[in-house]
Amino acid sequence: MSAVRIPSGLHEVLGERQSRLALVLIAAAAAAAVLALAPALADVPVWRAALAALMVADIGAGAIANLTRGTTDFYAARPGLRWVFIAVHAHLPLVALLLDLALTPTLLAWAATIIAATVVNLLQGHPEQRVVAGVLLAVILCTLPLLPEQSPVLLIVSALFALKVVYAFAVDHRREAREQSTAVPR
């Protein structure tokens, strides 16, 4: 399957090239995330609902896009941008504010995600980076339902956000692919 060249304005989101299948899966994840958000959209002004839907679409899309070779290769070539990516992800608190949802559980989920992503990103090149990311993601996912005032909508969005930033983005998936391609069969 041939790769599609991505317009330069979308490189930070999709990388420079993506397969057609990856683009379809990314779009499907974005749509599914917005559908999960739908119950909360009806209770706020249209402009706020639209902004929240765009942010949540970005979270859903990023949970898949950050696993792809195109996005992984883009950030592997620009390690400094990895820190910028982590730093600018204030999506969760903004979504909560836009939808008039409880801010405390959202801030806790956001902080846990950013801290976990920072730890995982610091482990670039470490052989157990993926395992550490998996453990941190599991802890976040197991803790989310225990947060006070957590709405079902924010629970879903927070889980996607943690997947996107901690595991899909902060893990060096190229390293895993290199190790698998050079492994000696037993």
pLDDT, tens digit, 9 for 90 and up, residues 11-68: 888 989 999 999 999 999 999 999 999 999 988 999 999 999 999 999 999 999 999 9
Question: What residues make up the domain containing 92?
Answer: 3-182
Token readout for 33 is 């995330």
How far is CA 5 from each of CA 8, 11, 57, rounded to the nearest angstrom? 9, 10, 21
pTM reported for the whole predicted model: 0.89
**What pLDDT does residue 174 have?**
79
Strand ranges in 87-171 using DSSP code E only, listed in sequence order: none
**What pLDDT does residue 3 have?**
87
Of the chain, the percentage scoring pLDDT greater than 70 comes to 93
Among candidate residues 170, 164, 167, the one with its CA nearest the CA of residue 56: 164
Which SS3 state, helix, strand or coil, does residue 3 take? strand
Please determine, for residue 181, whether its predicted confidence score (pLDDT) is greater than 50: no
DSSP single-letter state for residue 184: P
How far is CA 59 from each of CA 55, 117, 170, 182, rounded to the nearest angstrom? 6, 15, 14, 33
pLDDT in tens, 99-129: 999 999 999 999 999 999 999 999 999 999 9
Query: Domain total for the chain?
Result: 1
